[in-house]
Amino acid sequence: MPPIVRSFFHIASSTWTYVVIDAATKRAAIVDSVLDFDIASGALSTESVARVLEYVDTAGVTVDWILETHAHADHVSAGAWLRGKLGAKLGIGAGIVDVQRRFATLLDLGDAIGDAPFDRLFADGDTFSIGSLTARVIATPGHTSDGVSYLIGDAVFVGDTLFAPNGGTGRCDFPGGDATASFRSIGKLYELPDATRVFLCHDYPPSGTEPRAETTIGEEKLANIHVRDDTSERDFVALRTMRDATLAVPKLLWPAIQLNIRGGGLPPDVPGGVAFLKIPLRFGPTF
């Protein structure tokens, strides 16, 4: 039987969180969970992810895995918090080690090195079980160097590798990002059957339009505005590079990445029980 997928939309970050359920055993995974974060006050809270927990409890499922498709730059992961609540294993792509090293160097975060925040670092082709379902990991770097997609039955969870067809694809200009790698990752996804359900990490719909959680491989190949089935690597890289040059830095980049390379865990406390994040300063030529 295909997995049951329940979707939750986090309005502030336009992020989709998924509960993926094996109906036969009522075992489940949670993909790309979100904490509420107010950057002005520094307040972290759990109102949104509490809806996910409420659903898990009401549905009577047992969560075995908390899965991240990559280290997000636009929201704070609830992975570590959920692991503490549910006792589930926290997994991410093995490329997270490279992301940790890059940002630990950029931000002088010596404590962020290593896989300690995570229970499993997935390599391309790895498999694991969600009840009677077998999940397969597809390495999909490009947006970030740690990107993975999870193929679970007839459903694939693609992170920021693909958006809805009218949204195109994820940017590739973060440290470790690579447009050529993104094109080749999308090519791997396009080898899946056309009927494969594609579950998105984000959707940014036009005003007055409801956000989409789901497309199909066939729809993406036919209509994605950045990369259809007949798009060449050269054309995609040129388009992606040109577009990325116009994009602003995500407002949560520096706070989010410091937490997400720790699986959503907090940096070390200091006396007084307050944790601190770092923001690098850039000095313009007229400073």
In a domain, 277, yes or no: no
Q: Is 56 in contact with 65 (CB distance < 8 Å)?
A: no
Contact 92, 263 (CB under 8 A): yes
* Token pair in block for residue 233: 């690597």
**Distance between CA atoms of 68 and 65, rounded to whole angstroms?**
10
* Rg of the chain (C-alpha set): 18
In the chain, count of helices (H) and strands (E)? 7, 17
Q: Which domain holds residue 234?
A: 4-259
Q: What is the mean pLDDT of each run of 10 residues along the chain (287 residues)?
A: 96 97 98 96 94 97 98 96 96 95 88 73 98 98 97 98 97 96 98 98 90 98 98 98 96 94 84 82 86
Distance CA 116, CA 261 (A): 10
Q: Count of domains in the chain?
A: 1
In a domain, 236, yes or no: yes
Domain of 78, CATH number, reads: 3.60.15.10
Answer yes or no: is 280 within a domain: no
Q: Which two tokens stand for residue 280?
A: 């690098």
Tokens describing residue 54: 């409420």
Partner residues linked to 16 by β-bridges: 9
CA dist 128 and 276 (Å) reads 36
Degrees, nearest 5: CA angle 277-282-283 = 140
Q: Assess if residue 204 is contained within a domain.
A: yes
The pLDDT of residue 113 is 61
73 lies in some domain? yes
- Within-domain flag for 279: no
Considering the domain boundaries, does residue 108 fall inside one? yes
Which 3 state secondary structure label does DSSP give 100? helix
Helix 96-107 vs helix 253-260: angle between axes, to the nearest 10 degrees? Answer: 130
Residue 287: inside a domain, yes or no?
no
Question: Would the pTM of this model clear 0.85, i.e. be above it?
Answer: yes
What per-residue confidence (pLDDT) applies to 116?
Answer: 67
Nearest by Cα to 177 from 149, 145, 216 = 145
